[in-house]
Amino acid sequence: MANKSREILGLAEKYRDWTAENLAAMIRVPGFSCTEKERVLLLKKMCEDSGFDEVRIDGLGSLLARVGNGPRKLVIDAHIDTVGVGDPAQWKNPPHSGLIKDGIVHGRGSSDQLGGAAAMITAGRILKELSCAGDWTVWFTFTVIEEDCDGLCWKYLIEEEKFVPDLAVSTEPTSCRLYRGHRGRMEIEIRIKGVSCHGSAPERGESAAYKAARAALAIEKLNAELQPDDDRFLGKGTITVSQIRVQGPSQCAVPDQAMLYCDRRLTWGEDDKLAISQVEKALRDAGVDKFEVFMPEYSQSAYTGKVYRQELYFPTWKIAADHALVKAGVRAYGELFGKDPVVDKWTFSTNCVAICGRHGIPCIGFGPGDESQAHAPNEITRVGDLQVCAAFYAALPWTLESSR
């Protein structure tokens, strides 16, 4: 494996600038959730030009590109949609410039997470040049709609297209660390009813606004009471109110309807049923009545026209530090770079909520760029990270092969 590592490192260095230029080209073609078509077509051409063995687009619009013909399936995944740019005035360079300067690639998606996609294409080219063969087929997946509904693309692939990997790597940003889990999440909606009356005599009604205020404070209290997981690897769950709306028959009336929307992060051992029951109890304890607590559903048309629905629940996942995939990742990194990687976890959520959290397929994370860059203005990633990750993705199949 030592000779192979040297070859992989040499090719990753050879294609360093090419990888950065590919990333810049991706950034210059905007692709938000459900509007990724032009970016997918660009990636398809990049994979075809790099000599991948098979390149196809699934029914939801994700791109799948294969290298090898082994009986076991290793997937390396990047979502290729991005969030919007926010306030353009906060950007020093145009958000879709793809500027490369002083070893940095600038632009929306450079870290979250087109950098992973660019490194994947280079890894596929390296594997083709080194004639990777054996038990592992490597599938590079460039998936859609993650920013709107993380894991939806993989729920569709696994459940509808029966595309089931043996192992998976997410290339979301990890600062070139190796990650083995993150908290899950869910979205919770609270509907509260009051009784309207004329604003000149509020004592005749029941204000949904005051009930909503008590509910918001109850959620704040609940957040403080949530506990971390037993081994304190993922940390505590959280809940926060992200939206409040109150309405009634007029501006001169006591409001009779309120809505609170909550973001709930789930640590190990927490699930959707527990989270909803906790909110219900918190509201009752705060004296709130006439309420309903439920989990909304995501339902949007993909750019292909396909509508695929999912409840907004994204299960917690982790794999053990001594899992064979983690050990293979540590070994691949060590043989490439002469030291062990930092093994840690994400703060945010990824497609692994479906691959591992929902379907139990072991996952690790390893990606270029920093988690703190995600969704921020002036997003960047380092060209050096792209080179490191391209080498890691190319080395992992060889390491898995030699570990058997």
In CATH, the number for domain 184-300 is: 3.30.70.360
> What per-residue string of b and e applies to 368-379 under the rule 16 or more CB within 10 Å gives b?
bbbbebbeeeeb
Per-residue pLDDT, averaged over 78-101, amounts to 97
The pTM is what? 0.95
Place of tokens 């040049």: 129
pLDDT band at 404 (very low <50, low <70, confident <90, very high): low
**Is 77 annotated in the active site?**
no
Please check the confidence at residue 260 and state whether its pLDDT lies above 80. yes
The stretches of 130-271 forming alpha helices (DSSP H) are: 152-159, 208-225
Domain 2-182+316-403: which CATH class? alpha beta
Q: How many residues does the chain have?
A: 404
* Domain positions in the chain: 2-182+316-403, 184-300
What percent of the chain clears pLDDT 90, i.e. is strictly above it? 97
Lay out the sheet containing 178-179: strands in order across: 54-57, 63-67, 136-143, 72-79, 167-170, 363-365, 178-179, 343-344
3-state secondary structure of 93: coil
Q: How confident is the model at residue 370 (pLDDT cuts 50, 70, 90)?
A: very high
Question: Strand, coil or helix: what is 308?
Answer: strand
Active site residue 81: yes
CB within 8 A of 369, min separation 6: which ones?
110, 111, 112, 113, 115, 116, 173, 175, 380, 381, 382, 385
Which pLDDT band, with edges at 50, 70 and 90, does 171 fall under? very high
Q: Are 79 and 146 in contact (CB under 8 A)?
A: yes
Q: Which of 146, 206, 229, 385 is catalytic?
A: 146
Task: Tell me 204's DSSP state.
Answer: G
Give the pLDDT band (50/70/90) at residue 2. Answer: confident
Selected catalytic residue, list 58, 81, 272, 379? 81
Report pLDDT digits (tens) over 302-341: 999 999 999 999 999 999 999 999 999 999 999 999 999 9
